[in-house]
Structure 1
Amino acid sequence: MRDLAFAVKKTALGAVFGLGLLAASQTAQAANPLELNFGLTGPNYEGRVAPCERAMGTITTQFWEKESSFWNSSLKIAAYSNIHEIAFRPWQSDNIPRRYCAGQVTLNDGKVHGIYYSIIEDGGFAGYDQGVEWCVTGLDRDWAYNPACRSARP
């Protein structure tokens, strides 16, 4: 019985203390003019994204580096074919401009694979220059774009 009375007193004291803190706190106010994104201009995307053919050199180099460094493979891209754009800025105009492309690559082992990639405005290192994200169907060994490179498409 004594423990029950102590617990009731402790709970009541905690409730009174909590209400006191709540009453003493200030109400929320709107931001003043200096807190309203003062001097922040935000991104200025112009929509100037390179054509699909411009990314092939970057993809060839990155593919060779990935295969040789991470997978201990001697695969290299030997040729490209049927490269074409599949979408340009497929979402709202406020999103980062991207050009989505697709085609086929022939590797040095003679096998042909599909390739999907996007060229991203200001998507390079530290937002400088254009970046490229790519996926070769059947060779997405870390499953970054699986299944069948679906996440590399729009």
Structure 2
Amino acid sequence: MRDLASAVKRAAFAAAFGVVSGLLAFGQPAYAANPLELNFGLFGPNYEGRVAPCESAMGTITTQFWEKESTFWNSSLKITGYSEIHEIAFRPWQSDNIPRRYCAGNVMLSDGKMRNLYYSIIEDGGFSGFGQGVEWCVSGLDRNWAYNPGCRAARP
């Protein structure tokens, strides 16, 4: 009985070794890209660092906040005012990254509470890469935890 078990183990090992050896034997070597495969003909956005000032995103944030609260959270909260809007950072990482302007401030909501707002304006970050994109977070109202904890992921 022991001989049969050891023979089965040896046969299974030999089969596995044969499969691995066969796969390695028929593998193709990797070659460098030929001139037609290089990126010489590609075009795309030329990031020039033209990012709008912090105040330009207020309308977008107000609209998107109202849409999110009313559609997904069945809430009647709206942003009624902004204060202390200021820039936190501009291109905080190396210059080859997509240009972003990070801003912060306070928002007054329709429930009478003042909350912190953190957002970034992204060059060519709009729909399909057209226009300025805005990513924002109101602390205490990040209900899907996209920027948790405390909107930290929305800051540089």
Paired position in structure 1 for 2:33 = 31
- Aligned pairs (5 A) from 1:1-154: 1-2=3-4, 4-5=6-7, 7-9=9-11, 11-12=13-14, 15-16=17-18, 18-19=20-21, 22-154=24-156
- Between Structure 1 and Structure 2, how many residues are aligned? 154
Tell me by how many angstroms 1:43 deviates: 3.5
Q: CA RMSD in A?
A: 2.0
Change (3 A) 1:61 1:26: closer
- 1:75 shift after superposition: 1.0
- Counterpart of 2:42 in structure 1: which amino acid? L
SS of alignment partner, residue 39 of structure 2: coil
Structure 1 length normalisation: TM-score?
0.88
Question: Where do 4+ consecutive residues of structure 1 move more than 4 Å?
Answer: none
| Structure 2 unpaired stretches of 5+ | none
Give the TM-score of the pair, scaled to structure 2: 0.86
Structure 1 range deviating more: 6-15 or 132-141: 6-15
DSSP-derived class of the 1:94 partner: coil
Identity of aligned residues (%): 73
Change in Cα spacing, 1:116 to 1:6, as seen in structure 2 (3 Å) is closer
- When residues 23 and 67 of structure 1 are mapped into structure 2, their CA distance, relative to the original with a 3 A threshold, is closer
